[in-house]
A and B are shown apart, each in its own frame.
Chain A
Amino acid sequence: MSELTGLYALWYREVKVFLRERSRIISSVVNPLIWLVAFGGGLGSAISFGGTGYQTFIFPGVLMMTVLFTSIFFGLYIVWDKKLDFFKEVMVAPLSRTTLFVGKMLGGCTDALIQGSILLVLGIFFGIQYTVYAVVILVLFLLFVAIGITSIGLAIGSQMSSFEGFGLIQSFVVMPLFFLSGALYPLSGLPDWLMIVVRANPLTYIVDGMRGALLGIYNFPLVEDVVVSLAFVAVMVGVGTLAFKRMSAT
């Protein structure tokens, strides 16, 4: 019971803080809009895939990207909390490390999903036509991204004691996850070496599932997308929980 109350407190804090930082919400929505308008619009004037405009084609990928960026940076932000003694206040509470992790993670997921939802609504202005089925599947996959990536962010952040490694994480985790996911290009006709890398990226299956539900363009069956995503989420939550257990408080 007290663990559940603690969980609620951790979640409540994250959501409350998030909703007060309007500038963060605005910038995180503007960023994907720039992708859609500038990249999607610009490149889209030159290419399209079998009747689907490029802008529409990358829409699921850009959705995924929004949640990816918000989630990973939410997780890494814990380094800052630790620096300011803020997290010590939480660590000294009579709550288990698992509760701390889950509370933080759910808070981050909520933030990321709020942003994803804003973008989902804005999609209407880009001519995206939703069905109820598509929306349900999109939200489900966004949830997978949010949980999995927030967990990675928290796991890495909990083991770091300064921001020194941020550039490395950006280059070696965030960018590859995004660019090698098929968010911006179709998977058919990729060179073999690239295909191997792309297929090893769990986010590929998430983008594939989303694009399949929204546009009917897919490379893998939905079941495969869901199974891979679930496995990814399970592993990342496990890694995050372990990382929190090993995290030192100072």
Chain B
Amino acid sequence: MIIKTEGITKAFKSLVAVDHVDLSIDEGEIFGLLGPNGAGKTTLLSMLATLLRPTEGTAMINGFDVIKQPGHVRRSIGMVFQAPSSDDLLTGWENLYLHALMFGVPAEVRRERIDEVLTLVDLKDRANDRVKTYSGGMRRRLELARGLLHKPKILLLDEPTLGLDPQTREHIWEYIERLAREGRVTILITTHYMEEADRLCDRVAVIDHGKIIALDSPANLKMQIGKSMIKAKVKEPNLEKIRALPYVSKVEAKDGDVSIVLSEVGAHIQEVLCNLGDASFVELREPTLNDVFLQLTGKEIRAEGAESLEERYTRATGK
């Protein structure tokens, strides 16, 4: 158990941003915190990074207590923040060099280590350009590289692909996967992108209003909670019979196009199709994490862009 939280809670005046969360994360795992903006993901991450002091409860990171041993915790983690946190006026190399100095990377290995991480994120040929001239994706990669510079055992990533184009996002995902699989780095990632959680994470905790409402592998979550949909073209559908089936939650029919929402489709598809009537076309839609979220909370994860500074300010200060 490289990360373990025990009833960790953060309250800002009247708002409980993180509400008694218990989490256990194994070494080498890619663990996702999935939830809408304002669900408490960043607050939880900030407490694990010792940037915020929990109101109640605590967390052990790499065997160190976030409240009592913040120095050790900080040396064990690398963090990539949601908003840009590299210095535009400095070059990529200089940003990394400063980080190496601040995080106590020994002088003998500084240059070598910087070279290593720059290679990892494919920024070696741009290392001596000012960060001002980088694209959004390059900046993120630089920040990822910086988070890795002091060889942390744990990497905390706050919305690492927020606002990036699909191709760059794919790249970043590859880097993250490589780190976890080859480097045995434990990765805790917050996201409100379903595809990201689905594609990348070994396990996902769905978080809403500061509480974990579900926790499992993406596949299990979808299987257990998510609903599948069968779409079929049937001339004379036997709708009454279908509606009567206990596992069917919704049936709609229009001009011979029938859509049926049901749970555990694998076990029931045969029965549904037998009862439905002669179908000229059948399509099966598997559940997504969005369905899971919808099912659990009754609302969709808002997939709009980054939360504005004002919103962040409001949430952080509780004003």
> Interface of A with B (CB < 8 Å)?
2, 5-6, 8-10, 12-13, 16-17, 20-21, 83-86, 88-95, 161-162, 248-250
Contacts and interface: CB of A to CB of B under 8 A. Distances in A.
Contacts of B279: none
Interface stretch (B23-31, B73-81, B179-187): B73-81
Contact of A12 (B79, B84, B86, B98): B98
A85 B104 contact: no
30 contacts: A5-B101, A5-B102, A9-B101, A9-B102, A13-B98, A16-B90, A16-B94, A17-B89, A21-B89, A84-B84, A85-B81, A85-B82, A85-B83, A85-B84, A85-B85, A88-B51, A89-B79, A89-B86, A89-B99, A92-B49, A92-B50, A92-B74, A93-B99, A93-B103, A94-B104, A161-B317, A249-B46, A249-B51, A250-B51, A250-B52
Given A85-B82, A89-B81, A13 B74 contact: no
Given A13-B98, A94-B75, A5 B89 contact: no
B313 A161 contact: yes
Contacts of A83: 309
B236 interface: no
B71 interface: yes
B67 interface: no
Interface string B83-112: 111110110001000110111100000000
A88 B101 contact: no
A25 to B, nearest CB: 13
Contact of B90 (A17, A92, A161, A250): A17
Contacts of B101: 5-6, 8-9, 12
Contacts of A84: 83-85
Contacts of B71: 94
Among A5, A6, A90, which residue has the most Cβ atoms of chain B within 10 A? A5
Given A2-B104, A12-B101, 5 more contacts: A5-B102, A88-B79, A92-B51, A92-B79, A161-B313
A5 B90 contact: no
A8 B192 CA distance: 38
Nearest to B156: A92
A250 B103 contact: no
Contacts of B84: 84-86
> What are the 9 A-B residue pairs with the smallest beta carbon separation, nearest first?
A9-B101, A85-B83, A249-B51, A93-B102, A2-B104, A85-B81, A94-B74, A85-B85, A89-B85
Given A9-B101, A161-B317, A20 B50 contact: no
A89 B51 CA distance: 10
Central interface residue in A85, A88, A92, A93, by most chain B CB within 10 Å: A92
Nearest to B53: A248
A89 B316 CA distance: 17
Contacts of A16: 89-90, 94
B311 to A, nearest CB: 13
A179 B291 CA distance: 65
Contacts of B85: 84-86, 88-89
Contacts of A8: 101
Nearest to A83: B309
Given A94-B74, A161-B317, A250-B52, A20 B79 contact: no
Contacts of B75: 94
B102 A90 contact: yes
A161 B310 CA distance: 11
Contact of B316 (A2, A5, A93, A250): A250
